[in-house]
Amino acid sequence: MNKFALITGGTKGIGKAVAEVLADANYNLILTYGNDDETAAKVQNEFKNRFKSDIFFIKADITQEDAITIIDKFLTEKNIQVNSLIFNAAITARTPFEEITQKEWEQVFYANVHFPVFLLQKIISKIETGGNVLFTGSLMGIYPHSLSLSYGVTKSAVHSLVKNLVKYLAPYKIRINAIAPGFIDTEWHNTKSPELRKSIESKIAVERFCDPLELANIYKTTIENGYLNGEIITVSGGYSYK
């Protein structure tokens, strides 16, 4: 029987590229998204024509507490055991330091840290023995972020969460890792000016952003390599070497 992978934020960018690579390898997929129904419908149509495996789409906004119940209910009703749980969706807030409100700060923490902890707690029995959890961390969780304090701090927390959870997940025979991407060519960067893009590229040794599919192949390897556990795998094109 084909394995199931659940990817949060699976309709665009990194999550969609990981979905494509896994569907190519015959994984069944559950792809969640937050708000953009139109894109989700387009991707659903595209994937139906391209892939033979079962691919489900669920709207579950990670800033809302009901996202946990929505996902859990779906797995229960379909009687699905997940092989790979990929926490990819995250939010940011680029408010200047002086204007950050506690509400905004807590929302970023809820979506990026609390949501994965409590979804994992809720569906731990629905992850297969020998399965794995994979987070999308960030290079900005390693190097201080100049545009979003809450984003940088929550991504550091994600890296720490991965390391701390290894011991909690070992009894279940579940591995856990994070990939910390540098600059990946997705909608995430839509608001960046050409000048800012150039400035970023000038700091990367390979002098370009990463294609989402280049990165997605590393997700597949990490999911499938049974000896990778508790790792934060940085994929930055040599960001710190230039």
Ligand X SMILES: NC(=O)c1ccc[n+]([C@@H]2O[C@H](COP(=O)([O-])OP(=O)(O)OC[C@H]3O[C@@H](n4cnc5c(N)ncnc54)[C@H](OP(=O)(O)O)[C@@H]3O)[C@@H](O)[C@H]2O)c1
Choice between 42 and 173, CB closer to ligand X? 42
Q: Write down the least CB distance from residue 129 to ligand X, Å.
A: 27
Residue in the block written with tokens 């680029």: 94
The tokens for 71 are 């996902």
Q: Which of residues 160-189 bind ligand X (CB under 6 A)?
A: 181, 183-184, 186-188
CA 188 to CA 201: how far, in whole Å? 16
Query: Of residues 3, 4, 5, 13, which one binds ligand X by CB under 6 A?
Result: 13
Question: Does position 15 bind ligand X by CB under 6 A?
Answer: yes
Residue with CB nearest ligand X? 13
Q: Which of residues 96-155 bind ligand X (CB under 6 A)?
A: 111, 136, 138
Question: Does position 237 bind ligand X by CB under 6 A?
Answer: no
Q: Which residue from 111, 10, 118 is spatially nearest to 62, judged by alpha carbons?
A: 111
For 122, counting Cβ atoms within 10 Å of its Cβ (0-12 exposed, 13-18 middle, 19+ buried), the class is middle
Q: Which residue from 187, 202, 185, 200 is spatially nearest to 147, judged by alpha carbons?
A: 200
Query: Of residues 88, 132, 148, 236, which one binds ligand X by CB under 6 A?
Result: 88
Amino acid at the residue 89:
A
Q: Write down the least CB distance from residue 52 to ligand X, Å.
A: 22
Whether 45 and 21 have beta carbons less than 8 Å apart is answered as no
CA 143 to CA 127: how far, in whole Å? 32
Query: Of residues 19, 23, 62, 161, which one binds ligand X by CB under 6 A?
Result: 62
Question: Does position 35 bind ligand X by CB under 6 A?
Answer: yes
Please choose, out of 19-27, 56-64, 123-131, 161-169, the segment that lies near ligand X by the rule CB under 6 A.
56-64
* Start-to-end Cα distance in the chain: 47
Size of the site for ligand X (CB under 6 A): 28
CA 8 to CA 78: how far, in whole Å? 18
Question: Does position 21 bind ligand X by CB under 6 A?
Answer: no
Binding mask 186-225 for ligand X (x = CB under 6 A): xxx-------------------------------------
The tokens for 8 are 């949060």
Q: Which parts of this chain interact with ligand X (CB under 6 A)?
A: 9-15, 32-36, 61-63, 88-91, 111, 136, 138, 181, 183-184, 186-188
